[in-house]
A and B are shown apart, each in its own frame.
Chain A
Amino acid sequence: MSELFRRFGRLGGGLVLATALLWALLLIVLPQLWMVDLSFRPNLPVAARGGPEDGWTLANYAALWANPLHRTIFWQTIWSSLLVTLLALVVCYPVAFHLAQEAKGTQALLLATALVIPFWVNEILRTFSWFLILARNGLVNRLLLALGLIEEPLALGGVGAVMIGMVYAYVLFMIFPLYNALESLDRNQIEAARDLGASTWRIHWRVVIPHAKPGIAVGCVMTFMLAAGTFAVPQIMQSLPGGTNARWFTQIIYSYFFDGGDWNRGSAYAFALLLLCIFFIMAMMRLFRVGLRDIAK
Chain B
Amino acid sequence: MQRAEVALEGVGLAYGAFWAVRFVDLTVRPGEFFSILGPSGCGKTTILRLVSGFVEPSEGVIRIDGRDVRGVGPAHRPTALVFQNLAQNLALFPSMRVWENVAFGLEVRGVVKAQRRRLAEELLELVALPGFAEKRIDELSGGQCQRVAIARALAVEPKVLLLDEPLSVLDLELRQHMRAELKAIQRRTGVTFVYITHDQGEAFTMSDRVAVMSQGRIEQVGTPTEIYDAPATAFVASFVGESNPLPGRVEGSAGGFARITTALGPLRARDPRGLAPGSAAILIVRPERCRLDEAGEGNGPADRLARAEDAPVNRIEGRLVRIDFEGAFANLGRSQPGRAHLESPGGERRPPLPARGRGPCGRTLPGRSGTRTPRGPARP
Contact = CB atoms under 8 A, between A and B. Distances in A.
A188 B84 contact: yes
Interface string A165-208: 00000000000000000000010110111111111001000110
Contacts of A195: 52, 54, 74-75, 79-81
A126 interface: no
A140 B196 CA distance: 58
Interface in B179-229: none
Interface string A211-228: 100000000000000000
Contacts of A196: 75, 80, 104-105, 108, 152-153, 155-156
A197 B84 contact: no
A189 B87 CA distance: 12
Nearest to B164: A188
The residue among B54, B79, B91 with the most chain A CB atoms within 10 A of its own CB is B91
A198 B86 contact: no
B338 to A, nearest CB: 49
Given A197-B108, A198-B104, A206-B104, A192 B91 contact: yes
Contacts of B79: 195
**On chain A, which size bracket covers the interface?**
10 to 19
Contacts, number: 67
Given A186-B89, A196-B152, A191 B108 contact: no
B93 A193 contact: yes
Interface string B99-113: 000001101110000
A189 B108 contact: no
A192 B91 CA distance: 7
B93 A197 contact: no
A214 to B, nearest CB: 12
Contact of B83 (A191, A198, A202, A210): A191
A148 B202 CA distance: 73
Contact of B91 (A186, A202, A211): A186
Contacts of A197: 75-76, 105, 108-109, 156
Contacts of B107: 206
A17 to B, nearest CB: 36
Nearest to A203: B108
A194 B93 CA distance: 13
A189 B81 CA distance: 11
Contacts of B153: 196
B95 interface: yes
What secondary structure prevails in chain A residues at the interface with B? Answer: helix
A202 B95 contact: no
B72 interface: no
Contact of A198 (B87, B90, B108, B155): B108
Nearest to B84: A188
Nearest to A196: B105
**On chain B, which size bracket covers the interface?**
20 to 34
Contacts of A199: 108
Nearest to A211: B95
Contacts of A186: 86-87, 89, 91
The residue among A191, A192, A206, A210 with the most chain B CB atoms within 10 A of its own CB is A192
Interface in B95-135: 95-96, 104-105, 107-109
The residue among B73, B104, B107, B153 with the most chain A CB atoms within 10 A of its own CB is B104
Interface in B276-335: none
B75 A191 contact: no
Nearest to B77: A195
A76 to B, nearest CB: 36
B290 to A, nearest CB: 44
A229 to B, nearest CB: 33
B75 A198 contact: yes
Contacts of A191: 54, 74, 81, 83, 91
B108 A202 contact: yes
Contacts of B94: 211
B80 A206 contact: no
A210 B156 contact: no
Contacts of B155: 196
Contacts of A211: 94-95
A160 to B, nearest CB: 36
B93 A206 contact: yes
23 contacts: A186-B87, A186-B89, A188-B90, A191-B54, A191-B83, A192-B92, A193-B93, A193-B104, A194-B54, A194-B74, A195-B52, A195-B54, A195-B81, A196-B80, A196-B104, A196-B155, A197-B75, A197-B76, A198-B75, A206-B93, A206-B96, A207-B93, A207-B95
The 9 closest A-B pairs by CB, nearest first: A188-B91, A210-B95, A196-B105, A192-B91, A197-B75, A197-B108, A195-B74, A188-B83, A195-B81
Interface of B: 52, 54, 73-76, 79-81, 83-84, 86-87, 89-96, 104-105, 107-109, 152-153, 155-156
